[in-house]
Amino acid sequence: MEEIKELVTSLVQKLFSEHADVVLTRPEEQFGDYATNVALKLAHKTGKKPREVAAEIVAGLKHDSIAKTEVAGPGFINITLTDFALQKLVGAKPAKSLKDKVVVAEYSDPNPFKVLHAGHLYTSVVGDAIANLLENAGAVTHRVNFGGDVGMHAAKTIWAILQDLGGENPDKLTEVKEEGRSEWMAGAYIKGTAAYEDDEAAKAEIVVINKRIYGLYSENDHDSPLARIYWTCRQWSYDYFNEFYARIGTKFEKYYPESEVSELGLKTVKEQLEKGVFQESDGAVIFKGEDYGLHTRVFINSEGIPTYEAKDVGLIMTKNADYNFDKSVVITGNEQEQYMQVVLKAVEQFAPELTAATSHLTHGLVKLQGGVKMSSRKGNILRAVDVLNEATEANKKASGKDDQNVVLGAVKYSFLKQRTGGDIIYDPNESVSLEGNSGPYLQYAHARAKSILRKAEGASEPNSQISEWETGERTLVRKLGMYAEVVEQATMELMPHLVCTYLYELAQEFNRFYEKNKVIGDPRERIRLDLVTQYAGTLENGLGLLGIHAPESM
Mean predicted confidence (pLDDT) in 231-253? 97
* pLDDT tier for residue 461 given thresholds of 50, 70 and 90: low
* pLDDT tier for residue 132 given thresholds of 50, 70 and 90: very high
Could you report the per-residue pLDDT of 481-522, keeping only the tens digit for each? 999 999 999 999 999 999 999 999 999 999 999 999 999 999
Give the Cα-Cα-Cα angle 275, 280, 284 (nearest 5 degrees): 130
Give the pLDDT score at 466. Answer: 53
Give the pLDDT score at 381. Answer: 76
User: Percent of the chain at pLDDT above 90?
Assistant: 90
Check pLDDT > 90 for residue 221.
yes
Check pLDDT > 90 for residue 377.
no
Check pLDDT > 60 for residue 168.
yes
Give the pLDDT score at 379. Answer: 52
Query: Cα–Cα distance between 311 and 260 in angstroms, integer?
Result: 9
Q: Mean pLDDT over all residues of the chain?
A: 94
Check pLDDT > 80 for residue 378.
no
Element (H, E) at 346: helix 337-348
Give the pLDDT score at 371. Answer: 55
Mean predicted confidence (pLDDT) in 202-231? 96
Give the chain's end-to-end CA distance (angstroms, integer). Answer: 36
Mean predicted confidence (pLDDT) in 335-349? 97
* pLDDT tier for residue 463 given thresholds of 50, 70 and 90: very low
* pLDDT tier for residue 469 given thresholds of 50, 70 and 90: very high
- For residue 6, the SS3 value is helix
Give the pLDDT score at 464. Answer: 42
Mean predicted confidence (pLDDT) in 173-192? 94
Mean predicted confidence (pLDDT) in 198-218? 96
Which of 110-119, 309-318, 535-544 has the weakest average pLDDT? 110-119
Mean predicted confidence (pLDDT) in 373-385? 63
96-115 burial code (b ≥16 CB/10 A, e <16): eebeebbbbbbbbbbbbbbb
* Higher pLDDT pick, 411 / 380: 411
Question: Mind listing the domains of the chain with CATH numbers?
Answer: 2-81 (3.30.1360.70), 102-148+253-363 (3.40.50.620), 152-248 (no CATH), 387-545 (1.10.730.10)
* pLDDT tier for residue 459 given thresholds of 50, 70 and 90: low
Query: Cα–Cα distance between 527 and 466 in angstroms, integer?
Result: 8
Q: In 362-496, which ranges are continuous DSSP H helix?
A: 384-399, 404-416, 428-431, 439-455, 471-480, 483-493
pTM tops 0.85, yes or no: yes
Query: Cα–Cα distance between 546 and 439 in angstroms, integer?
Result: 10
Mean predicted confidence (pLDDT) in 61-77? 95
Mean predicted confidence (pLDDT) in 398-409? 95
Query: Cα–Cα distance between 24 and 525 in angstroms, integer?
Result: 34
